[in-house]
Amino acid sequence: MKNIFEFKEYLILAILLIVSLALLPFNDSPQVKNLRTYAFSIFAYATEATQDVLTFFRPEEELKKEKKLNGELSLQVNLLREYGIENIQLKKMLDYYDSTKYLLIAAKVVSRNVTKTNGNLILNRGSKYGITEAMPVIDEFGLAGIVTEVSRDFSLVRTIKNSKLKIAVTDQRSRVSGIAEWGGSRLVLKNIPASADVAPGDRIITSEFSSVFPPSIPVGLITKKEININGLLGNVFVKPFSEFEKENFLFVVKLIKNKQIDSLKLNLYLKR
């Protein structure tokens, strides 16, 4: 007991100090506020300095692990973003699938080679899924191209932005027909009679006279009609609906066609 009484002054001082610190946050006087600010500033500086010292003396291996973890987390975040974008595209594709009468095979674009006059894609679906040459390829907006080569697991697609692809089309409003081909920036219907009833804003669709493409697939909108110098014929320019350059997934339209009929006209689309 004697020892306790010897240190009672220190104990009382400690108790009073603790009580004072406990009551300090509840005091709003200017002096106390300044003291709190000063104390918090000192604490913040001390904490920052301590962290810098700890970081300096932290083992190099631990820093490497943290950097590696940060890199992995960054990749995972980007991957989740990609999944989110793909999820939106797949949902649109499912909605389109429900609204069409054709049998569609969903395929992912694994390679793109699109130049000014030569557009090709590779899809991750092939003969294993029943895909054959000359099957049309579409996205949710319209015609994207046609399958030209098939392996067991992949398909090569000649897109509508390929000058070698010829498409039998018709004006949905006036039923004027023609052959559309890629002109470098737009689809072009060449040698259309000047008197033909076609106008900007008209929708162009695949023709019922095509033996390769099923009828009524959306192709694009007429943007311009240009009459030649002789005044008898003209060119009709069409902006495609398809946005296959932006899409990660496309549909292959699975058709069962008459081989005898197809063999007569297939060269028009694939061998030029």
- What would the DSSP string read from start to end of 72-89? HHHHHHHHHHHHHHHHHH
Domain with 41 in it = 2-57
User: Can you give the CATH number for the domain in which 143 is found?
Assistant: 2.40.10.340
Which residues have C-beta within 8 Å of that of residue 4, sequence separation ≥ 6? 11
Same domain, 167 and 266: yes
Q: What pLDDT score was predicted for residue 46?
A: 57
Longest dimension (CA), the chain: 125
Number of structural domains found in the chain: 2
Same domain, 49 and 182: no
Last residue within a domain, chosen from 40, 57, 74 = 57
Same domain, 137 and 240: yes
Query: Has residue 66 been placed in a domain?
Result: no
DSSP state of 214: P
Q: What pLDDT score was predicted for residue 103?
A: 83
Same domain, 264 and 159: yes
Same domain, 31 and 115: no
Two tokens, residue 202: 């008209």
* Rounded Cα distance, 240 and 246, in Å: 13
Same domain, 246 and 134: yes
Query: Has residue 137 been placed in a domain?
Result: yes
> Would you tell me how many other CB atoms lie within 10 Å of the CB of residue 52?
10
Same domain, 125 and 9: no
CA distance to 39, 197, 235, 252, per residue, from 172 (Å): 79, 11, 17, 23
Last residue within a domain, chosen from 35, 57, 79 = 57
Task: Tell me the three state secondary structure of residue 66.
Answer: helix
Query: Has residue 32 been placed in a domain?
Result: yes
Same domain, 43 and 132: no
Two tokens, residue 1: 């007991």
Query: Has residue 99 been placed in a domain?
Result: no
Same domain, 29 and 158: no
Query: Has residue 180 been placed in a domain?
Result: yes
Q: Is the pTM of this model over 0.75?
A: no
Task: Tell me the three state secondary structure of residue 130.
Answer: coil
Same domain, 35 and 108: no
Same domain, 179 and 248: yes
Two tokens, residue 152: 């067991």
Q: What pLDDT score was predicted for residue 56?
A: 56
Query: Has residue 80 been placed in a domain?
Result: no
- The tens place of each residue's pLDDT in the chain, 272 residues long, gives 555 555 556 666 666 566 565 555 555 566 655 665 555 556 555 555 565 555 555 555 565 566 556 555 655 655 555 556 566 666 665 655 555 567 888 898 998 887 766 889 999 999 999 999 999 999 888 899 999 999 999 999 999 999 999 999 999 999 999 999 998 889 999 999 999 999 999 999 998 887 788 888 899 999 999 998 788 899 999 999 998 888 888 999 887 554 444 554 455 444 44
> Would you tell me how many other CB atoms lie within 10 Å of the CB of residue 225?
17
Query: Has residue 65 been placed in a domain?
Result: no
* Rounded Cα distance, 81 and 93, in Å: 19
Which residues have C-beta within 8 Å of that of residue 127, sequence separation ≥ 6? 150, 151, 152
Give 227-233 contacts, CB < 8 A, sequence gap 24+.
Answer: 227/194, 228/194, 231/194, 232/193, 232/194, 233/191, 233/192, 233/193, 233/194
Contact 134, 266 (CB under 8 A): yes
Query: Has residue 163 been placed in a domain?
Result: yes
